[in-house]
Amino acid sequence: MSNNTQSGRQLISRSQSEFSNNYNHHDDPEMNEVVDALEKTDMKENAVENSTTPHRSKQSKMRRNRKARSLYGVSPHCKFGPKGSLVDNSATVLTIPDPGCQKLKWHKPPLSVLVVRKMFDESIIIPFKDLIVWLIEEKNMVVYVEEKVLEDTSKLFRTNSQDLLSKIQTFKEGEEDLTDKIDFIVCLGGDGTLLYASSLFQQSVPPVMAFNMGSLGFLTPFHFCNFQEQVTSVLQGDASLLLRYRLKCVVCNQGSECSRIPHVKNIDKKCGDAHILVLNEVVIDRGPSPYLCNIDLYIESRLVTSVQGDGLIISTPTGSTAYAVAAGASMIHPNVPCILITPICPHSLSFRPVVVPAGVEIKIMVSPEARNNAWVSFDGRNRQEIQQGDTLRITTAMYPVPSVCAKDQIDDWFDGLADCLHWNVRRQQKTLPSLPSTTSLDSVILDPDSN
């Protein structure tokens, strides 16, 4: 089914739902033609499906209907009564991607692939070698591997007929820009392997396919047993994507040029003492100091509160199931556009985690009354000290991580909650005993003869 058809279904379903009173697509002749064409295409596809698969499974129908009815955000043409509407400016409208329409599309066949594996795990060496040999010999792809990773496994790639080492491209972290060299990423390991792959791309990220070969695997939905079929399917474009939001983090030292730029989204990568995109979270803590961490929290230039405690976690929806959930935050689906702010052991009983809209600027500074400096880490790496007068500025990055789904965006996430975090796992409550003469629970408890 084409992406245009799915997008059209969203427009049709939205016009038939509660938005029908506010949004009338017939006001736009071009949109009207698109909807009419998609309705005809939808009718043809339904006719073909009914003729070829008359006994389609109930689960497949429910999944299709669920995606077709998905509503995502406010329409740019939404009206508020007879005289009110949104300002006609695309920059003021936030369009939330519909999970049912996030499908992978290759404009050209992918030719290069980056393979990232978990370090210091001998059980991954053989699958790592099998994957690379298959990608080179069967798919004729250019394979990139980090230099330090290849050094430990170089002997495995020597065969009787040829030396595959000459066909493997290597790189060093931080010394080469892979943005325009890599078409596809395959990860072998756990969640940390995916975080590391994200850190290698500080701008646009290629589609990432993550195989669960680590400890937890909440972010890695694929199993390696039949990797040939799964990778081939993705290379052919048959895959759903989960766009995982990242945070743009800029450290501005006191008096630096970037500290005078009005909004962090306007800060160029060349400006700032540290410019990092993170997938999970930014953690500000007291470091080795025995004193409380005392930092000021600003949101959109407003001083919201002063944090006194062990620190603060600023996380993406993906990071909500990591450090943040251990600190008492709620778990948020990665498709929800937001930023989660979670205190670490706050010295206040009323300081609870809060969720703010994606795109706002969060600014953190060491309070003038603080007894010590603060420390900051980005996805557990690049740890550095924040002194008084320095500013840590954070917002939603414009470059997400397109994570390939094993099933779809909803099933993968709830499967992870159940399998990895054992979410809401408990013994089922027993049913009441069969007592035909008993009409209430009170009579069972109060009547001594009921035993």
Active site residues: 191
Cα separation, 44 vs 50, whole angstroms: 10
Cα separation, 204 vs 216, whole angstroms: 27
Between helix 29-52 and helix 3-16 the angle, nearest 10°, is 110
CB of 115 within 8 A of CB of 136? no
Burial environment of residue 60 by CB neighbours within 10 A (0 to 12, 13 to 18, 19 or more):
exposed
Helix, strand, coil content of the chain in percent (nearest 5) = 35, 25, 40
What is the β-pairing status of strands 184-189 and 362-366? unpaired
DSSP result, 151-181: HHHGGGGB-SS-BGGGGEEEE-TTTS--TTT
Q: Which two tokens mark 195?
A: 């975080």
DSSP result, 295-354: EEEEETTEEEEEEEEEEEEEE-TGGGGTHHHHTTPPP--TTS-EEEEEEEEESSTT---E
Chain centroid offset of residue 246 CA: 7
CB of 227 within 8 A of CB of 211? yes
Cα separation, 130 vs 203, whole angstroms: 30
CB of 142 within 8 A of CB of 135? no
Q: Which two tokens mark 132?
A: 């690379």
Q: Which two tokens mark 67?
A: 């995606």
- Element (H or E) spanning 248, and its range? strand 247-252
CB of 64 within 8 A of CB of 42? no
Among the listed residues 204, 163, 161, 166, the one whose alpha carbon sits nearest the alpha carbon of residue 185 = 204
Q: What residue type is assigned to position 24 of the chain? A: N
Between helix 58-68 and helix 3-16 the angle, nearest 10°, is 70
CB of 243 within 8 A of CB of 402? yes
Half-sphere exposure of 175 (CA within 13 A, CB side): 6
